[in-house]
Amino acid sequence: MAEQISDYQALSPLYTTEQLQSKVKELGEAISRDYAGEELLLVSILKGSFIFMADLCRAIHGVKVAIDFMAVSSYGDKTQTSGVVRIVKDLSSTVKERHVLIIEDILDSGVTLRYLLKYIGARGPLSLDVCTLLRKKDRQLAKIEARYVGFDCPDQFIVGYGLDYAEQYRNLPYIGILGK
C-alpha cells in the first residue's frame, strides 16, 4: 500500500530555530574569512537550500556575493534517492574564472552532489567548494568533501527549514525528523 503524505507528521525539533541561526552565523563568519576581499558566487541547489542560502548570504561580510540557482531532481516524492540526477534548472550565470560555493541543504548519498561538482567544474571556475547545512556521514555512497558543514545529522528523513517530503514541511522554522 502506497504511503500518503497525511500518514506522516514532523516530530519534535532535531535542530531548533536558535541552533540553526547560530550555525548559519558561524558558517557565514568562516566563509567571510576564507573569501575576504574576493568575489563569490553562491549556487543554491533548489528547492531545499533556498532558506539556508538566504540566511547564509546575509551572514557573509567583506565578500562580494552574487547568487544563482540550480534545480535538480533525484528524489521525486520518495524518501530515498533514485540515483538518477536530472537538471531541472541550470545556472543563469557563468562560473568561468569565478569562486563558486555550492550551497546544499543536506549531503546524503552524495550522488547528486558528485554529479553537480563534475558538471559545474567542467565550466572552469577558479575554485569550487561545497557548504552543506546537514551531512549524513553514514549514508554517503559518493565520497564528497564539503568545505563547510553545519551539522552531522542522524540517518533519519528530516524536514523543515527548506527540506521537504513531497513538497510539504519546507516552511517549518526548525528541522524535525519525519515520522509516522
Give the domain 12-167 fold: Rossmann fold (3.40.50)
DSSP-derived letter for residue 62 is: S
Phi, psi of 28 (to 5 degrees): -60, -40
Share of the chain above pLDDT 90, in %: 69
CA dihedral 117, 119, 122, 124 (to 10 degrees): -70
pLDDT at 175 over 70: yes
pLDDT of residue 57: 97
The mean of the pLDDT values for the chain is: 88
Catalytic, 108? Answer yes
| 2 pLDDT tier (thresholds 50, 70, 90) | very low
**Mean pLDDT across the stretch 148-167?**
92
Name the grid cell of 48: 531545499
Q: Which of 55, 108, 129, 164 is catalytic?
A: 108
How many Å apart are CA 178 and CA 180, to the nearest integer? 7
Greater model confidence, 95 or 141: 95
| 10 pLDDT tier (thresholds 50, 70, 90) | low
Task: Assign 110 to helix, strand or coil.
Answer: coil
Most confident of 32-41, 105-114, 139-148: 32-41
Task: Assign 146 to helix, strand or coil.
Answer: coil
**Mean pLDDT across the stretch 50-68?**
97
Comparing CA positions, the residue from 14, 27, 49 lying closest to residue 154 is: 14
Q: For 109-133, write each residue's pLDDT tens digit.
A: 888 899 999 999 999 999 999 999 9
Is the separation of the CB atoms in 31 and 148 below 8 Å?
yes
pLDDT at 169 over 60: yes
| 90 pLDDT tier (thresholds 50, 70, 90) | very high
> Taking the CB of residue 100, how many other CB atoms lie within 10 A of it?
24
pLDDT of residue 4: 52
Q: 64-73 and 99-107: which strand pairing?
A: unpaired
Cis peptide before 47 (omega within 30 of 0): yes
pLDDT at 141 over 80: no
How many Å apart are CA 23 and CA 102, to the nearest integer? 17
**Mean pLDDT across the stretch 19-40?**
98
Most confident of 41-55, 72-86, 101-115: 41-55
**Helices (H), ranges, 13-155:** 17-34, 50-58, 111-121
